[in-house]
Amino acid sequence: MKTVLRILMVFVAIASCFAQDQSKKHEPASTAKESATVVREGVARSAYRLDFKVYEIENGKRTNERAYTMTARVSGDWSRVNVGTRVPIVTKEKSKDIEYTYLDVGIDLKCRLTEQAGKLFGEVHMGVSSIAQPGQTADPRVSTMPVLRNTNSQGETQITPGKPQIIISADDVNSKKKLQLELTATRID
């Protein structure tokens, strides 16, 4: 009797899974070309392509430039680009056993868009981390351990669509370089 009951329960579970799959097949498929304006809670939400450029400036000249693009809706939700490398660091070494931990090195950009009184605003968070090159550490005794450099910034600013704007500028504390973040927002329609 218990065996028959178990088989019946398995049959019911499998049947319910198939029923769910069948209901999904009848849902309308979304089209590849969607409008950039989405209605949420009765309010139209526009979308923007956000082009970020990160510059390193030394002696008044741009020495390095990186470009990142994301899309974001005027909804207050975060959009994010995270590009980097996980670098293994030895934390414990005992005979043949070696233990590692990993450091995330790279760039992390987050942005959310809002509108107030018909004007576009963006809250931007930027985090850049890198490992110092040999000879750039302040203490030569720690040359076997990597030195991690970080630049973190966040702020909110009004954004003028179509116009490139420097929204973050920070001096590098270990050199005479400056880091700048430029944003150009383009409405997608």
Residue 177 confidence class, pLDDT cut points 50, 70, 90: confident
Query: How many Cβ atoms from other residues are within 10 Å of residue 13's Cβ?
Result: 9
Q: What distances in angstroms separate CA 45 from CA 31, 59, 80, 123, one per listed residue?
A: 18, 43, 18, 17
Contact by Cβ (8 Å): 57, 183: no
Whole-angstrom distance between the N-terminal and C-terminal Cα of the chain?
Answer: 64
CA-to-CA distance for 99 and 88, rounded, in angstroms?
10
Averaged confidence pLDDT in the chain: 78
Q: pLDDT per residue over 43-84, tens digit each?
A: 557 899 999 999 999 998 999 999 999 999 998 899 999 999
CA-to-CA distance for 72 and 160, rounded, in angstroms?
15
pTM greater than 0.75 (yes/no): no
CA-to-CA distance for 116 and 71, rounded, in angstroms?
19
